[in-house]
Amino acid sequence: MKFTKEAVLEKCIGFVDAQVWPLTHQLNPIAWLSNFSENETDYALCLLNSFVYYSEAMVNKMLRAAYQDLLIAEFGHAGTQATAILSHFDKRMCITHVTGELPNATDSGHLFARKARQVLGVPESKILYPQQAIAKLACHDVDYIIFVDDFLGSGKQFSNTWTRPYNVGMDLSFELFSERSGAKFYYIPLVATEDGIENLNELCPHVKICSANVLPSRYSVFDQNTIIWPEYLKDGASNFVKTASERAGYGNGEGFAGFGFQIAFSHGVPDATLPLFWSEENGWKPLIRRS
């Protein structure tokens, strides 16, 4: 299928009118398309057509849905026994967040910890930093730990959080407690890649992953079986991404771990998203800026 510029832009304008996309000063498809030559237009339109933006309202609904799925899967739909177990869960749970390889104040997990209170109604006393959650485990004050996050890519950030030693009088990790205690651990990323889920199932087998949306590898522009490029563009797609990315200041343009996805959230853009969408190097006009 060949996309026309008019049709793709009409769809983008429709998203803005429906308040799914923000106004053009935040997400500007016309300025972004101006980065490309006439020979590259078909490729750029395919990328723009496949781009997915999750508004704040969508993010909140996805978080709520993933949390509800967790509760239903663990405690059933109804009944006296399920109600009693759920009551025990409410008393003995806490929510924490995933931190980067070098934890810092910009980690998206901080935002989602707040959303646990605002969207899920979890009391603030049960929303903890990872080190505080470890301390609660050490004192046998909690039985259920829930990690919240926006995006599960390779799984490296979570596995780092999982295995990192936190000093609570002695060095302890979530991994250690998963092997030595009866505590249960859950991870709620809004969006997860199939590769990331597979990696964590192997690296962190005691963690149950409950994602609102799973991205198969075929949604990557680099996958051999990608659905992003129509047949008539597949042969030249790799060269297009490489040459356009060089102009945008990002070498081969693969981005983090070579995922090559096309997604953004209202609060930021994952590392796994193609740099072509967010680069501002060399005068490149971004479709969306990284927050």
**What pLDDT was estimated at residue 277?**
96
Alpha-carbon distance of 266 to 59, in angstroms, equals 8
**What pLDDT was estimated at residue 238?**
92
pLDDT tens column, 135-157: 999 999 999 999 999 999 999 99
Strand duo 171-172 + 263-265: pairing: unpaired
**What pLDDT was estimated at residue 80?**
46
CB 255 within 8 A of CB 274: yes
**What pLDDT was estimated at residue 45?**
95
Q: How much is the mean pLDDT over the chain?
A: 89
pLDDT tens column, 185-202: 999 999 999 999 999 999
**What pLDDT was estimated at residue 24?**
84
**What pLDDT was estimated at residue 103?**
59
Q: Block means of pLDDT (10 residues each) for the chain, length 291 residues?
A: 83 89 90 96 95 94 92 68 74 90 62 87 93 94 94 93 91 92 93 95 95 94 92 93 93 73 93 93 93 65
What is the residue-wise DSSP string for the chain? -PPPHHHHHHHHHHHHHTTSS--TTTB-HHHHHTTS-GGGHHHHHHHHHH-EEE-HHHHHHHHHHHHHHHHHHHH-SSSHHHHHHHHHHHHHEEEEE---SS--TT-HHHHHHHHHHHTT---GGGB--HHHHHHHHHTT--SEEEEEEEEESSSHHHHHHHH--EESSSEE-HHHHHHHS--EEEEEEEEEEHHHHHHHHHH-TTEEE--SEEE-GGGSTTSTT-SSS-HHHHHHHHHHHHHHHHHTT-TT---GGG--B-EEETTB--TTB-HHHH--GGG---SB---
Torsion of CA 277, 280, 286, 288, to 10 degrees: 80
Domains along the chain? 1-35 (no CATH), 61-215 (3.40.50)
pLDDT tens column, 212-221: 999 999 999 9
